[in-house]
Structure 1
Amino acid sequence: MSETRITDQQVRLYMNKRKHNTQEVAAAKVGMSSRTARRIERATRLPSQKAERDWRTRTDPFADVWEGEVVPLLRSAPRLIPVTILRKLQEDHPGRFPNSMRRTLERHISQWRALEGPGKEIFFPQEYLPGIRGLSDFTHMEKLCVTLGGVPFDHLLYHFVLAFSRWEYACVVDGGESFEALAAGLQNALWQAGGCPREHRSDSLSAAFRNLQEQEDFTPRYAALLEHYGMEGTRNNRGLGHENGSVESSHRYLKDAVDQALELRGHRDFADRASYDEFLRGVVMRRNRRNAAAFRVEREHLQDLPELRTTDFVEEEARVTRCSTFTVRNILYSAPSRLIGHLLKVRLYIDRLDCYLSGTLVHSTPRGSLAPGRSRGHAIDYRHFIDSLKRKPQAFKGLAFRDNLFPREAYRRTWEQLDTKLSQRSACKTMVGLLELAGNHGVEAQLAERLEALLELGELPDLKTLFDEFAPRLRECPVVVVEMPSAEVYDALLDEQVPV
């Protein structure tokens, strides 16, 4: 058959069929032509025993440019790909090397590199023993297009893997690759696993390494974390992520598993961060069930945990301004107005900020994050400003962080309509009233749905109607009737004889 090589197995099968069939029938049964069958019967050797052909069936189109032009390019720039070289030849020799010669050039270059090209990097497969190595890394998740309340949620995952059993732990990080994210994630993983490996490996995280010329250049905080858990810290060579392959390869499989779970779920929107955390925890648990037997073996070889966790936060100071805000790491946070003027000790955790005044916890808020390409961020809670805005509602229009006060997209779109169709006084008063209704009466989500419906109808919200619907007041006090007993009841009690 044309363009098909005959194998030794086909020849043997043909010879067996030929014992009981004609040449044409035997050839048809093994999938070859009668002409090939006749050639096989005349041959004295199997196809694999024949000498390789040492002549060309057609003239080499690159013969006169190979040694003078192509080989010097390959030696001076080993990373050049065949398509680039073909484009160079087409520019130097117009009309001589059509695109149809691309495969021919690729075969030539591949053979030259195998015979005379530079050596390639060798990857050494590793054998891991139980309880020896755990690996940490961060991976980006924005390509999965997860949203919280309809808002895109750009975040990272902290990912920990035990090299022997492939047991893993993952948690959401909506900030950067900070020390507190590493410390909290690593400690959560170790306490969930129930023990510590002898070695902790990562890439050149600035949260763990100073990245100087010295081999051992741990930051003091990371060195203290390793000492607390009795682990030795190692890292791969800079820029060679494949040396961290046990966790790097797991990134792809974990993200594929999350993506498939989202496909089964039918949508990628979550009501809040807690529901997304729970979803992610379920995906990781299902993956760990497949490695349960190996993990039980490794669990016996892990070191014991210390009695207590160590510090997984960073402490900074911030003063609350007269705007009832404070700034930590280029992110503007809001605070209750009673803290204006006070200097707070702020503990930055992976997911929150705890603010202390004279050793007392006075405020806690979710940790904010910087948007891509932005040097400053906002984490504003509109509830902190409601009472003051009620006294000065027109300050809302020109407020510097006004757009960050809207808890949901529906409120922002409603403000745009109010600002367009009403006077400044009426628009600001209505918007502040809506925020008061949402925050003080706990109907933020329900009110947002009603505002969406009004926007679709092209109607403006009526503040009084919405208050009557979502926060009705009792118009009448209940009538309480108290019946006073007569004094004769007490006289009867005095007349009773108490037995001795």
Structure 2
Amino acid sequence: MPGKRITDQQIRLYMANRKDKTQTTSAAKAGFSERSARRIESGQRQLGPAKPRSYRTREDPLEPIWDSVVVPLLEQSPTITPVGIFDHLCEEHAEDFLPNYRRTLERRIRQWRFLYGEDQDVIFRQQKEFGRQGIMDFTWADFTVTIQGETLEHRLFNYRLPASGWGHAEVVYGGESFTAVATGLQGAFEQSGGVPTELRTDSLSAAYKNNTSEREFTESFQQLATHYGFQPTRNNTGIAHENGAIESSNNHLKNQIRQALAIRGSHDFETKEEYEHFVAKLVERRNCRIKPLLIDEQRQLQPLPAFDSVNYSVHLLKVSTTSTIQLKRVTYSVPSRLIGSTVRVHLYDKTLEVYCHGEHTLTLERVYAASNRRGHQIDYKHVISSLMKKPRAFRGCQWREQLLPSDDYQAIWKYVDANLTMDEASFYMVRLLNVACKSEREDAVGRFVLDGIRVGRLPTLFDCEDRFLKDEGWMNNPKVEQHPLASYQQILEGAK
């Protein structure tokens, strides 16, 4: 067949058929022409590799500019690309170089660099020993996840034991902070059942002092390493393949989450906890595949310490007269009884634990403020008693929108603000929030009022209080025994 080189296998097949078949038949069975068969029989084509020719079949299109222009550019800079040289030749040497020579130019440059170029970096494959190394990293979740329709911006903490392939992942809503590192490692060590000898990361600012040469590790990360007994190490800045075992795992983890979301048929979740459980189950299913290897690795891991590490930062804050504290550009409300006190806040990655005089007072969900903005988390239950005394303050309050706990109450306020006077609307809303707080049936109260609005009748505050605050202890009409008057007379005589 024209255009294809005749192989040794075809020649052997031709010669085997030639013993009892004609030249035409044998050539057809071998897949080439009769003329090729005649050359084989005449000795012009022998078994073995073809001899390389010492001549060109066509004129070299790069000869006018290769030695005089291209080679000096390649010797001048090892970083110059074939595209850069191509653009230069098209602009400065258009009379000797045509644009359709591009592929030839790229091929010749590649060959020249193989023969005369500089040495390239070598990747040295590492031996993976059970229990020796663990790797951790943070990666942006570059896929869409929504919580009740609102986009969830988050990272993933990824931990991996390269020898067995076991992994652990957690959802992180803030930055690459020490609390996120400590919380993620604590969960990873507990799930894997031990601690590796060495922990490798990139140059995390939460772990390393990157701007000074006096001390390599931050004090908090050094204490964490001492507590668990691992040796912290890091790869060189900007050399991603040195941490390749975790970089590749980051991509695999995110691709698996994307596929799982596609199979689920929805990217929306009711709560953050539901999404966190979704990611945890996905990683757990992936780890089931390498369970035998994990058992071998667990034998080599160091035992866990008796107590967990400190995975929070401590802050002493003064409670203002607005019954709030401020931390990390976020304002949090606290019970009004704490006004004027100094509270100790343990700041975790997802919660705040508030202590007053050494006693745990309350737990708050942590809020992360967007870049160059301030955040708020206001709970109306913390200040409702004061609002009941000053209901008119509700209308002009800076946190009015945050005081309304849900979309139902936002809709109720919009309705009463449009249909009642200013004072009546504020009074109604504050009393309604008080009913929701005391009854502990916030959602039911909101739905009850909205249902009345939809049918054109706003429920009165008496209706709400009668429905949700009615004393259930008197529902059974208990019998009250009336004592005779003589018994009171005996009491009076005894007093005399």
- Please state which band the TM-score falls in when normalised by the shorter chain: 0.7 to 0.9
Please name the residue that 1:367 is paired with.
Answer: 366
Alignment partners' CA distance in 1, 2:181 and 2:65? 56
Alignment partners' CA distance in 2, 1:45 and 1:466? 106
Residues 167 and 44 (structure 1), Cα distance of their counterparts in 2 relative to 1, 3 Å cut: same
1:381 positional shift: 3.6
1:105 positional shift: 2.0
Alignment partners' CA distance in 2, 1:226 and 1:198? 10
Alignment partners' CA distance in 1, 2:81 and 2:208? 37
Q: Does 1:45 align with 2:43?
A: no
- Report the AA paired with residue 243 of structure 1: E
Please name the residue that 2:487 is paired with.
Answer: none
Residues 460 and 354 (structure 1), Cα distance of their counterparts in 2 relative to 1, 3 Å cut: farther
Instruction: Pick which of 291-300 and 62-71 moved more.
Output: 62-71
Q: TM-score, normalised by structure 2?
A: 0.82
Render the CA deviation track for 1:407-465: whole Å, top value 9, x for unaligned.
5667668877887898766776777678667766666677899999999xxx7996528
- Report the AA paired with residue 161 of structure 1: R
Render the CA deviation track for 1:136-173: whole Å, top value 9, x for unaligned.
111111x2211122211111111111121111111111
Alignment partners' CA distance in 2, 1:193 and 1:157? 18
Render the CA deviation track for 1:336-379: whole Å, top value 9, x for unaligned.
222222222111112111111111111211122233x4354334
Please name the residue that 1:307 is paired with.
Answer: 306
Please name the residue that 2:328 is paired with.
Answer: 329
Contact 2:353 2:362 in 1 (8 A): yes
SS in 2 for 1:361: strand
Alignment partners' CA distance in 2, 1:148 and 1:7? 64
Q: Does 1:101 align with 2:96?
A: no
Residue from 471, 475, 479 that aligns with 1:478: 475
Contact 2:449 2:458 in 1 (8 A): no
Alignment partners' CA distance in 2, 1:9 and 1:434? 92
Instruction: Pick which of 16-25 and 332-341 moved more.
Output: 16-25
Alignment partners' CA distance in 1, 2:14 and 2:423? 96
Residues 481 and 362 (structure 1), Cα distance of their counterparts in 2 relative to 1, 3 Å cut: closer
Alignment partners' CA distance in 2, 1:49 and 1:215? 64
Aligned pair count reads: 478
Matches within 5 A, 1:190-201: 190-201=189-200
Render the CA deviation track for 1:77-109: whole Å, top value 9, x for unaligned.
433332333223223345875553332222122
Please name the residue that 2:375 is paired with.
Answer: 377
Instruction: Pick which of 55-64 and 429-438 moved more.
Output: 429-438
- Report the AA paired with residue 311 of structure 2: D
1:56 positional shift: 3.2
Matches within 5 A, 1:17-416: 17-19=17-19, 26=26, 29=29, 32=32, 39-40=39-40, 42-46=43-47, 49-93=49-93, 99-141=99-141, 143-212=142-211, 214=213, 217-371=216-370, 373-386=371-384, 388=386, 399-402=397-400, 404=402
Instruction: Pick which of 255-264 and 475-484 moved more.
Output: 475-484
Contact 1:331 1:369 in 2 (8 A): yes
Specify every segment of 5 or more residues in structure 2 that has no aligned partner in the other structure, as ranges: 482-496
Q: TM-score, normalised by structure 1?
A: 0.81
Please name the residue that 1:492 is paired with.
Answer: none
Please name the residue that 2:459 is paired with.
Answer: 464
Contact 1:133 1:163 in 2 (8 A): yes
Specify every segment of 5 or more residues in structure 1 that has no aligned partner in the other structure, as ranges: 485-500
Alignment partners' CA distance in 1, 2:411 and 2:108? 63
- Report the AA paired with residue 346 of structure 2: R
Instruction: Pick which of 362-371 and 86-95 moved more.
Output: 86-95
Contact 1:136 1:247 in 2 (8 A): yes
- Report the AA paired with residue 201 of structure 1: R
Alignment partners' CA distance in 2, 1:131 and 1:90? 57
SS in 2 for 1:326: strand
Contact 2:351 2:363 in 1 (8 A): yes
Residues 396 and 300 (structure 1), Cα distance of their counterparts in 2 relative to 1, 3 Å cut: same
Determine which structure has more spread, i.e. the larger CA radius of gyration: 2
SS in 1 for 2:467: coil
SS in 2 for 1:317: strand
Please name the residue that 1:496 is paired with.
Answer: none
SS in 1 for 2:360: strand
1:209 positional shift: 1.1
- Report the AA paired with residue 52 of structure 2: E
SS in 2 for 1:154: coil
Instruction: Pick which of 211-220 and 112-121 moved more.
Output: 211-220
SS in 1 for 2:139: strand
Render the CA deviation track for 1:278-329: whole Å, top value 9, x for unaligned.
1111111111111111111111111122211121111112222223322212
1:186 positional shift: 0.9
Please name the residue that 1:497 is paired with.
Answer: none
Contact 1:82 1:109 in 2 (8 A): yes
Residues 482 and 465 (structure 1), Cα distance of their counterparts in 2 relative to 1, 3 Å cut: closer
Please name the residue that 2:492 is paired with.
Answer: none
SS in 1 for 2:254: helix
Render the CA deviation track for 1:236-282: whole Å, top value 9, x for unaligned.
11221221222221111111122111111111111112211211111
Alignment partners' CA distance in 1, 2:78 and 2:450? 60
Over the matched positions of the two proteins, sequence identity in percent amounts to 41
Render the CA deviation track for 1:377-427: whole Å, top value 9, x for unaligned.
334445445555566566556554555556566766887788789876677
Alignment partners' CA distance in 2, 1:428 and 1:107? 78
Residues 213 and 44 (structure 1), Cα distance of their counterparts in 2 relative to 1, 3 Å cut: farther
Residues 50 and 271 (structure 1), Cα distance of their counterparts in 2 relative to 1, 3 Å cut: same
Contact 1:86 1:97 in 2 (8 A): no
RMSD of aligned C-alpha atoms? 3.9
Residues 475 and 296 (structure 1), Cα distance of their counterparts in 2 relative to 1, 3 Å cut: closer
